[in-house]
Structure 1
């Protein structure tokens, strides 16, 4: 009896999984949720502002370049170390107690390179955070102006809205205003002001 019940549940689960693409396509074909415009309720997608504004695109391009340059530097060092590591016979499964002095020195070089790569990743993430903060500071007064202009009483993150009338979406307006105000921001791996 238990075996039959389990088998029946498995068949039901398999049938449900097979129906998912049909349900998904049926949902895609259904009309979007609409409804009346709710006065005072506005939306904004901060991600879309950062992605679509020229200043966000500039920051993203600079961050990609920093990451590519850093990765190229790490790879060049790794390539220079590879013959030495091979000559020393260093492997991940080697017993540290059996390492020669030369192997220990080689392992330290490898660990230093790994630390350099980790530090580079942290530096790029910090630069990204500083760029987002800078763009946010520049966008905030523009968001406030759009908020006031539309007589908003509540501003929601657009990504959390499941449906409804998106007539009070401030995103495009803020992107346009931000593009008129600034098109680039300086992105560097150093601390602010460096």
Structure 2
């Protein structure tokens, strides 16, 4: 039996995936000095991560996701604490128990530990699905704003700012998109998304 292992299980850092990584809206500094160059008309840049991280609605989503993650962590810690207490009590009296009783109690504790681990995995999948759906909702709000800024700036090609190694970042649309998104929406409300009937988060697209 692996009861000692289950005393140490936790929600792990996977719950951190519910938060949006902070990134500045300012143009990134080229990775190599001397790669500024002339502004290329029609070529524009955008960092979706920076939009989500800096827009008010993105910050609201991150705060809500963290709240949901903290709730899941609290529930898990409570159940883990109860299991740990029962495991310690069992270990203290195991030698004095009849073999059949010891095996029965051991199997019951092991079953609880497996169930707790399964619950932890469900929480992680559910939080990730919730994060994806929230980001998709914000993305839907962002798209028309991005399209408007794109046309206004005379863009003919849009590149991911985070994939650009260097160059002139004068046509970075990120800050303008954040400004437009803030003017349109500042908050978002959601609860934990239910997992698909088959389990997992395959339906999160």
TM-score range, shorter chain: 0.7 to 0.9
- 3-state DSSP of counterpart to 1:42: strand
Other-structure match for 1:53: 55
The runs of 4+ residues in structure 1 deviating greater than 3 Å are none
Structure 2: 5+ residue stretches without partners: 1-29, 93-101, 196-205
| Aligned mate of 2:110, from 68, 92, 107 | 107
Cα deviation, residue 173, structure 1: 0.2
Matched residue count: 157
Give the corresponding residue for 2:186.
183
Larger Rg: 1
Work out the CA distance in 2 between the residues paired with 1:191 and 1:103.
33
User: Which structure's residues are more often helix, by fraction?
Assistant: 1
SS at match of 2:159: strand
Post-superposition offset of 1:31: 4.6
- For residues 74 and 46 of structure 1, what CA distance do their matches in structure 2 show? 33
Unaligned runs of 5+ in 1: 1-27, 91-98
> Aligned match of 2:149 in 146, 150, 170?
146
TM-score (norm 2): 0.72
Shift of 1:88: 2.5
Are residues 122 and 168 of structure 1, via their aligned partners in 2, closer, same or farther at CA, if it must alter by over 3 Å? same
Per the TM alignment, residue 102 of structure 1 is displaced from its structure 2 partner at its CA by 1.5
Counterpart for residue 19 of structure 1: none
Looking at structure 1, the residues matched to 110 and 89 of structure 2 have their Cα atoms a distance apart, in angstroms, of 12
Q: For residues 32-83 of structure 1, give each alpha carbon's deviation from its aligned partner in whole angstroms, at most 9, with x where no partner exists.
A: 5212110110000000000000011000011111111110110011111112
CA gap 1:102/1:189 in 2 versus in 1, 3 angstroms: same
